[in-house]
Amino acid sequence: MLDDLKLIHIRDAKDALGIAQNQWQQYMYDFKLSWTPPNIINKVVFVGMGGSGLAAKAYKDWLGLNVPFEIIQEYDLPNYIDNSTLLIVCSYSGNTEEAITVFHKVTSQSEKADKNPMIVVVTSGGELRNYAEIANIPILLLPTGLQPRMTLGYQLRALCEIFEACNFNKQSLTDIGIASDWLKQKIEQWEPLVKTENNIAKKLALDLIGKSVIIYSSSKFFSVAYKWKINFNENAKMLAWCNQLPEFNHNEFIGWTNMPVEKPFSIIDIRSSLDNLRINKRFDITAQLLSGKRPNPETIELEGESKIQQILWGIALGDFVSIYCAILGGIDPTSVDLIEEFKKRLI
């Protein structure tokens, strides 16, 4: 079925696969940011929900910062916010309720100058863009017409430009450019023209369809596991969960031991040559002790010599696998109608 290009075109009418194939270009997008922070930055807070929060998770896994860096996914900010804080508010649509609420809370505190952070907005438009323009706040404008989860490359590039403007991680733009060129060649292995027998993404989709997928990784690559989870939820409309080692071995691990092995689950272990050796040992011992107590995991070995290559490779593979699962299930991999209906009812 996944080698039937006509069927793929019908079921993927909005071309999610085309976006996945060209995602390497997103990492090369030039926002031409010409902003300089007015104060010394000693902490960073990022606000972004769902697909608008993915890039911050990936950046933390990749480089992190030499100052505290917290990701907020709710309506309220931490009490420590002050004028030495960089606040990045990200909403792809520009209409995300939580992001706009935070933005208004901060910008309405004009009488508390010592508590006002430096703000940068990342969005494609909407109310957030309008409010930022009125307040003369710097904006990195994302290309429009996509789903938030499908713009991780643009958003990660935006963070690189912001943090380089702040004199953090001055090599990041060069490194992500090199990684994107490398990724272009790797993605070609998973494209629709590559037959199933030679296409790991198609093979995995055939193994996973109809199951609830649980993805495990080290904490070092948890952004990859989390992106896989979101992909299965939103692209394939499948239940999926994720967790990270070593925390998994302190609780969830034991939950597999008292149920029949014939569970409606599939397990993905995302492993890396860059992981701590103790993490690799944990994966091995976990597999031994849970043999016969859970489905055997599919092991994904992240490819690439650098951490950013492995992160981008893992994220891209998850995109293709989940889109192929949607096609197998006869589901539009792009639309998320139920989420849109939920947002309408919140108004």
- Kindly list the catalytic residues: 234, 250, 343
Question: With 0-12 CB in 10 A as exposed, 13-18 as middle and 19+ as buried, what is 71?
Answer: middle
**Separation between Cα atoms, residue 318 and residue 252, nearest integer Å:** 23
**Separation between Cα atoms, residue 312 and residue 182, nearest integer Å:** 10
Please list the residues that pair with 244 across neighbouring strands.
Answer: 217
Contact 90, 122 (CB under 8 A): yes
For 177-243, the DSSP string reads: HHHHHHHHHHHGGGSTTS-GGG-HHHHHHHHHTTSEEEEEEEGGGHHHHHHHHHHHHHTS---EEEE
**Separation between Cα atoms, residue 176 and residue 26, nearest integer Å:** 10
Three-state DSSP class for 272?
Answer: coil
Q: What would the two tokens of residue 40 be?
A: 């010394």
Three-state DSSP class for 161?
Answer: helix
Residue of 233, 160, 201, 234 whose CA lies nearest to 314: 201
Residue of 315, 325, 339, 347 whose CA lies nearest to 8: 325
Q: What is the CA radius of gyration of the chain?
A: 21
**Separation between Cα atoms, residue 87 and residue 106, nearest integer Å:** 9
Cα–Cα separations (whole angstroms), residue 253 to 173, 208, 220:
39, 21, 19
Instruction: Tell me how far apart the terminal alpha carbons of the chain are, to the nearest angstrom.
Output: 42
